[in-house]
Amino acid sequence: MSEVTRVVTAAVPARVEPLPPDTLGDRVRALKLPEAAKRRSRHFLWPVVLVVCGLIAAGSWFGYQQFLQAAAKAQTLAQKTDDGNRPPVASAPPQATPRSIVPVQAAAPSDENIALVSTGYIIASRRILVSPKVIGLVVYLNAEEGRLVKKDEVLAKMESVEFQAEYDLAQAALDLARQQLIELENGNRPEDIAQAEAELGESEAQLAQLEADWRRKRELRNSGILTPAELDAAEAQYRATVKRVEKLKAALKLIKIGPREERIAAAKAEVRRREAELAKAKWRLDNCTIKAPIAGTILKKNAEEGNIVDARVMNGSYSLCELADLADIEAELMVQERDVSKVHVGQRCDVRAEAYPNRKYEGVVSRLMPIAERSKGAIPVRVKITVPAEEVGVYLKPDMSARVTFLK
């Protein structure tokens, strides 16, 4: 064979005989990894398993520490709530084992004893807007926010010059009316009666003289010595004196009888009218001094010295201050209609202000209002709160929000 033939023969690949079809076992064996690959995969899985186990352990330890801290905080809060004081600043929880955990006793009532929980606002049962009853200038003001005042303590004084003058004028008019009534009731004095009798006697004496003159002149007229005119003048003077004597007799009779009952009644009515005017003037003068209507705390001051205060207007100074008794306070709540059946008058309650949640006060439902709030679908409810004397006005203040727990 030549050299060319050998090269071509070497270059041409030999004919490949077809393999017989694989069996099922051959296919399964073909899927198996070689031993070297199996050894490499085992070396790779061990680090992964260790990392996962470490993460699980770290998570368990962190969760356990959080549980211990929460348990310690709950125990501290429950203890301070029972004492009625604020909880102190939380310190680092002790590292305790699960066996040393003590169950926390809750200070709040259990769910079985709670009928309803609602929120509302603190209000004063008696909140008074102190306003003067007269219009005038404030010349003295003794009102400061937060100051405790006693009942009938002087809070302010108004200018009283005009009211004092009105009072003096009314007093003088009353004195005059009273003296006139006394004069009528006492009647005429003996001196007045004696004077009237003397005037009557004088007139009677003159009448006798005039009658004698008139008779003498009439005789002279019949003799023709006296003119008719002279006789007529003497007769007229005589008859006038007769009428004067009759008048003086009637006056003397009235003097002795005294004034008429109607005049006395009119004088009494005049006295009553003057007394009413004096009482009105005194009322206006007395109201220039404004006193505290109740004992309580001044919540707000609405005027200053020099202000003209008029309670009838709303666009200026119309009041001096607001006063309330902070020992008599309530919680005003809006209980939904679906829950109002759980509330009744006399029901005991626990009241906590949102500002001081660790201070609990006892309360009792004082009343359910007779009309509902249509827009809110609720019934207004008032809860009377019992406040210790040493805490009046310290923690619970009007218009603060409060949380009320109604007990079964």
Are 154 and 296 within one domain? yes
Asked if 98 and 125 touch (Cβ cutoff 8 Å), the reply is no
Q: Is residue 22 part of a domain?
A: no
Q: Is the pLDDT of residue 102 over 50?
A: no
- Tens of pLDDT along 262-271? 888 999 999 9
pLDDT (average), residues 247-257: 81
Please name the residues in contact with 225: beta carbons below 8 A apart, sequence gap of 6 or more.
none
How many other CB atoms sit within 10 Å of the CB of residue 140?
13
Average pLDDT over residues 65-86: 58
- Within a domain: 12: no
Distance CA 359, CA 80 (A): 10
pLDDT classification of 41: cutoffs 50, 70, 90? low
Residue 97 has pLDDT above 50, yes or no: no
% of the chain beyond a pLDDT of 90: 45
Q: Classify 30 as helix, strand or coil.
A: helix
Pick the residue with more confidence: 16 or 340? 340
At 80, the pLDDT band (50, 70, 90 cuts) reads: very low
Per the structure, the complete domain to which residue 140 belongs is given by 127-159+288-323
% of the chain surpassing 70 pLDDT: 76
Does residue 300 share a domain with residue 152?
yes
Min mean pLDDT across 35-44, 69-78, 144-153, 362-371 is at 35-44
175-197 mean pLDDT: 84
Within 10 Å of residue 364's Cβ, how many Cβ atoms? 14
Q: What is the pLDDT of residue 60?
A: 73
Which residues have C-beta within 8 Å of that of residue 252, sequence separation ≥ 6? 193, 196, 197, 200
Going by C-alpha positions, the residue among 125, 126, 117, 128 that lies closest to residue 330 is 125
Same domain, 150 and 292: yes
**Total count of domains within the chain:** 4
Q: Return the beta strands (E) in 125-189 as ranges.
A: 127-130, 136-141, 148-149, 154-158
Q: Are residues 319 and 347 in the same domain?
A: no
172-200 average pLDDT score: 85
Residues 305 and 333 in one domain: no
CATH no. for residue 370?
2.40.30.170
Tell whether 122 is covered by a domain.
no
More confident residue, 400 or 110: 400
Q: Give the contacts of 74 (CB within 8 A, at least 6 positions apart).
A: 104
Average pLDDT, the chain: 80
Segment 77-97 mean pLDDT: 43
CB atoms within 10 A of CB 290: 24
Give the tens place of pLDDT for each residue, 202-222: 888 888 888 888 787 777 777
| Cβ atoms of 348 and 407 closer than 8 Å | yes
Tokens describing residue 208:
């006798």
Please compute the mean of the pLDDT values over residues 180-201 and round it to a whole number. 81
* Residue 83, burial from CB neighbour count under 10 angstroms (0-12, 13-18, 19+): exposed
Q: Return d(Cα 197, Cα 205) in angstroms, integer.
A: 12
Of the pLDDT bands very low, low, confident and very high (cuts 50, 70, 90), residue 42 is low
Return d(Cα 181, Cα 265) in angstroms, integer: 9
Half-sphere exposure of 127 (CA within 13 A, CB side): 12
pLDDT of residue 215: 81
